Amino acid sequence: MSFSQPQAKRSRFKSGYLPTLDGWRAIAIAAVLLDHATSRFRPQATWYPLLRAGPNGVSLFFAISGFLICSRLLEEEQVFGGISLTGFYIRRACRILPAAFTYLVVVAALAMASLIVVTPLEWWSCILFFRNYLPPAWIHHGWGGYTIHYWSLAVEEHFYLLWPALLAFSGRVRARYLAAAVAITVAVWRWWDFHHHWVNRYLPDLLFPSRTDVRLDGLLLGCLAALILVEPRWRAWLERRVNVVVLGALAIGYLLFQVIPRRHTYSIWESMLLAALVAGTVLRPAGIVGRVLENPAMKWVGRLSYSLYLWQQLFLAPGATYPFSLLQRFPLNLAMVFLMAAVSYELVERPMIRLGHHLAPPPTPGRIDLATLGAGIPLTTNAEVQKRELERSA
């Protein structure tokens, strides 16, 4: 546990890259894009509910995020014997905020030019990450569709404020019990409030599925999966038993539970199945499923997934109208989403991620495309900093 830079504990380091996660991100963003791109079809069509996969995609994003964040924190704890909360928040701020704020600057400019309607309250709720607790009625003259997707970013930010400190102060053993206990508590509370509407008494018409207090289990069970895999004995046991049959059974179970009934239910069972699927493919990346998720096309879409998620709302938002509505028409709308996402990734995301790694070096560099700072300049990691200090002292 540490608020400053921990000292190195061993000299051998992993790459930090977790295989198959980019592939899962590609599936998650594809579900969101499919949902929004087909929103103009009549809901009465019998096949239409099968396209409403956006909620499933966001739930998958939560499982991925919880697993990844906890895995990287545990990696830092293994390598250096402690977790630097300061370093974590610097890297997260550089990872999340620049791209998110860039989108908000663009929609603010469009709103000031009277091309779209975005009210000051909804805009500030995105900046301050309480969009998921803003009732639609409070937006008044605004429509809210250009910023509604920031509800999930708010949930993620609230998770960042909670979990790293809990893990740093409790240690991995107690953290397993904490993750399980809080996830179960969230699930029980979700069931209770869904039936008794306590929160609705104080915030009428608040969107129930967007609240942090009813969605946090999706992230925490991803953390629990990471805490299980970090234990060598459990990891070895799972490596012997997890195969394509087990992964297939988990996927079929999820489809039967979430997709085929043509309605999305928010439950702890969904969170458990998604966390198990993500952890299972990370455990066996050389398997058939892992090879599919690791193919170059899936990895490319997965790397763009954050920017795709931000920009899709401007071109695919259901019910959006403005003077240049041509950009809302298929296939131009999808082309614009990918164009803006690629520009955002290359000009905003990658440079700012590298800056975060430079300001607060992680224990390992992570993905290869983020492991260089500028043209041919290697990224300096905590491991390399410590190695240089040891060389100088010798």
CB count within 10 Å of CB 134 equals 24
The tens digit of pLDDT for each residue in 239-288 reads 888 889 989 999 988 888 776 666 667 889 889 999 999 999 999 888 88
**Residue 198 burial (10 A CB sphere; 0-12, 13-18, 19+):** exposed
Q: How confident is the model at residue 386 (pLDDT cuts 50, 70, 90)?
A: very low
Mean pLDDT of 216-238: 94
Q: Find out whether 253 and 280 touch, Cβ atoms under 8 Å.
A: no
Residue 14 lies in a domain: no
pLDDT at 384: 47
Please determine, for residue 7, whether its predicted confidence score (pLDDT) is greater than 50: no
The tens digit of pLDDT for each residue in 174-197 reads 999 999 999 999 999 999 999 888
My answer on whether omega of the bond before 318 falls inside 30° of 0, hence cis, is no
- Say what percent of the chain tops pLDDT 70: 81
In angstroms, the CA 302 to CA 70 distance is 19
Exposure string for 285-305, b = 16+ CB within 10 A, e = fewer: bebebbeebbeeebbebbbbb
Taking phi over 0 as left and psi of -120 to 50 as alpha, with beta for the rest, 48 belongs to: alpha
Please determine, for residue 372, whether its predicted confidence score (pLDDT) is greater than 70: no
In angstroms, the CA 94 to CA 73 distance is 17
Q: How far is CA 278 from the centre of its chain?
A: 13
The reply to whether the predicted model has a pTM over 0.85 is yes
Q: Find out whether 375 and 351 touch, Cβ atoms under 8 Å.
A: no
Residue of 262 and 354 predicted with greater confidence: 354
In angstroms, the CA 328 to CA 73 distance is 41
Residue 212 lies in a domain: yes
Q: Rounding to the nearest 10 degrees, give the CA dihedral for residues 328, 304, 376, 379.
A: 140
Closest of 68, 78, 64, 67 to residue 14, by C-alpha = 78
Helices (H), 197-295: 198-202, 212-229, 232-241, 244-254, 268-283, 288-293
111 phi/psi in degrees, rounded to 5: -65, -40
* Two structure tokens written together for 55: 């909620």
The tens digit of pLDDT for each residue in 13-66 reads 355 688 999 999 999 999 999 888 777 665 555 555 566 778 889 999 999 999
Residue 9 lies in a domain: no
The chain-wide mean pLDDT, for the chain, equals 84
Residue 266 lies in a domain: yes
In angstroms, the CA 81 to CA 5 distance is 11
Q: Of 2-16, 226-240, 264-278, 377-391, which gets the smallest average pLDDT?
A: 377-391
Q: What is the largest CA-CA distance in the chain?
A: 74
Q: Find out whether 24 and 295 touch, Cβ atoms under 8 Å.
A: no
In angstroms, the CA 277 to CA 258 distance is 14
pLDDT at 370: 62
pLDDT at 17: 81
Residue 147 lies in a domain: yes
Helices (H), the chain: 21-37, 54-80, 85-112, 120-127, 150-196, 198-202, 212-229, 232-241, 244-254, 268-283, 288-293, 296-316, 332-344, 350-359, 382-393
Q: Find out whether 63 and 282 touch, Cβ atoms under 8 Å.
A: no
Q: Give the helix, strand, coil percentages of the chain, each rounded to 5.
A: 70, 0, 30
Mean pLDDT of 89-94: 96
Please determine, for residue 369, whether its predicted confidence score (pLDDT) is greater than 70: no
Mean pLDDT of 204-227: 93
Please determine, for residue 213, whether its predicted confidence score (pLDDT) is greater than 60: yes
* Two structure tokens written together for 25: 């991100």
pLDDT at 368: 62
Q: How confident is the model at residue 72 (pLDDT cuts 50, 70, 90)?
A: very high
Which residue do the tokens 């009625």 mark? 137
Q: Of 83-87, 124-128, 331-335, which gets the smallest average pLDDT?
A: 331-335
Run of H or E including 125: helix 120-127
Which residue do the tokens 């041509």 mark? 326
The residue range of the domain holding 176 is 21-393
Give me the number of domains the chain comprises: 1
